[in-house]
Amino acid sequence: MAKNHERIHIDEKNLCSLCVTELESIYEELELTEAELDILSVPRQVFTVHFPVRLSSGTTKMFVGHRVQFNDSRGPSKGGIRFHPNLKVDHVSDLAFLMALKCAVINIPFGGAKGGVVVNPKELTRGELELVTRAYVRAIADFIGPFKDIPAPDVYTDEKVMVWILDEYEQLKGEHVPAMVTGKPVELGGIKARKYSTSLGGVFILESAMGKMGMDKSRARVVVQGFGNVGENAARILHEMGYTVIAVSDSRGGIINGDGLNIHSVITHKRKKGGLEGFEGAERISNDDLLLLDCDVLIPAALSDQIDRNNANHIKAKIVLELANAPTTSEANNMLFDRSIMLIPDVLANAGGVAGSYFEWIQNLSNDYWEQDKVLDRLRKVMIKAFDDIYSLCEEEKCTMKKAAYKIGIKRLLMAEKLRGNI
């Protein structure tokens, strides 16, 4: 593990802008030193690789890939790989920081990483995408592995892409290394619950929060913005548990039925039609209006910055569960807190995904397979313990849950650095 006993010289271009922004609100309360701020504000390693791929047309194209390993003081780095035409290294750095914090918040022994390739997958054939994936793995193979940095699915990557990553890495190493990547098919060491662990982890958190607030799920009205994998599974799980989901939406708008939607029917309709529009027994609603519906639980599971200073005072939910990354601005978070609305931050609410990855990694290292009930029981315990820790600090300091989560996560990161002698 690299030691760093001298103060890091901060070059402006290396700073994680999100870290600086988020730490501004709490660094004085935590009484952080300059050295501690430096360690929290700069990624440990940043890789940019360029690699050629011969496309099916016969032409060769150079691609650019990035990987940021933000912090590995608490364990090997962990984070997704995304394929996106607008992928920028500074945004990758922000996401790696959030992953490091997220792992610390739920107290699992991972650091934070993120990476990907600058590419539009829609412009490539499936075969070409495989070639790009394998070339990217070859370019970063020396810097990843089960005890260094463990990739996972992210935007425009899926379990098949994880198989390509695994296979290419194993060919390079000449041995089976299933623990080097998570999000794999069950047949190659994955776990069934991984596909919906983010959503289910959020539901476990929600149930704990409702218990603290004395809310009855049989009377709870839920709104879900975003009907991708996370939002869809959250709506499905809540529907199956007896919650009344009155509205859901995708990128083109939403649907609402005040008496409740049959989420299974909505999912079937989406599969057939490619979207929510035209679903019988529901009215259309815009994404903006959906956020302002009269409900008990609002789940933003789509894009960032959906709740801001312009609409925060019009939110009617009692609980906001952030399953998307950063769907609420810092200013809006404080506005909701002033109105006694509980906002459960993304670093806690959507951490079930990395918890699921952790369980997959453990099983792969021990060449074991857990039954699904064991996975779900372990997920519940990890998420509820994290919620209880944060809620207790909130009550003690009368602060937002986001501030409490950041305080807990940062303290754990810094403790690891101190024990290693880095500060």
Residue 104: what are its φ and ψ, rounded to 5°?
-70, -40
The span from the CA of 319 to the CA of 336, in Å, is 10
Q: Copy the structure tokens of residue 347.
A: 């670093």
Distance set, CA 191 to CA 172, 231, 352, 370 (Å): 25, 20, 13, 8
Question: Is-contact 354 110, C-beta < 8 A?
Answer: yes
The catalytic residue among 78, 88, 102, 114 is 114
Distance set, CA 19 to CA 22, 250, 255, 321 (Å): 5, 30, 36, 22
In 232-337, the DSSP E strands lie at 244-250, 253-256, 283-285, 297-300, 319-321
Distance of CA 321 to the CA centre of its chain: 13
The span from the CA of 290 to the CA of 316, in Å, is 11
User: Closest Cα to residue 78, out of 53, 48, 108, 52?
Assistant: 108
The span from the CA of 325 to the CA of 303, in Å, is 7
318 is catalytic: no
Question: Is-contact 376 192, C-beta < 8 A?
Answer: no
Q: Copy the structure tokens of residue 260.
A: 């409740």
Residues noted as catalytic = 114
